[in-house]
Copies of this chain bind each other. A is one copy, B any other.
């Protein structure tokens, strides 16, 4: 599972083999089965994670117990709860595994060390943050302006191939609509 990470790094940053090895030397591998929690509400997020295989989700609950998914992290995605990790404060979010998954994990301290000592990694990390910011703004725009059908289409564009891997109620939870509405959309799209 380290190979997947090396492959990802090679495609996204040009790091020397030594630097990649340095990153891996500070990483912890973890294999988790479906429904395992990586972070619970109230806990402090200790790790920055990279998903080498499987699928994680970040979600939040309301008082009535309903779950609302903020983000999916399939293989080749980074995953963490930035607010809790950066400030080392209790998280408002949960992270759990939607599928059996393989992860690489770094503590904040170790990753800060890597950012400070590997040329280019800091700039790359900042680029990721900037990109996530752009995605978040698009998502906000979509959430306040798009119809459920447009949101559904956008979900499939943002997460190609994910639809067949997750139950519909998670798609609905991500989009902010009821399962019933999703069913209607899918039925309507079959007509075309």
What residues make up the interface of A, taking CB atoms closer than 8 Å to B? 60, 62, 66, 68, 70, 82-83, 86, 126, 129-130, 132-134, 136-137, 139-141, 143-145, 174-176
Contacts and interface: CB of A to CB of B under 8 A. Distances in A.
A91 B108 CA distance: 34
Nearest to A58: B137
A133 B132 CA distance: 8
A175 B129 CA distance: 25
19 contacts: A60-B141, A62-B145, A68-B141, A68-B144, A70-B137, A70-B140, A70-B141, A82-B130, A82-B134, A83-B133, A83-B134, A86-B130, A129-B133, A136-B137, A139-B140, A140-B143, A143-B176, A144-B175, A144-B176
Nearest to A138: B92
Contacts of A141: 60, 68, 70
A23 B12 CA distance: 34
Contacts of A143: 140, 143-144, 176
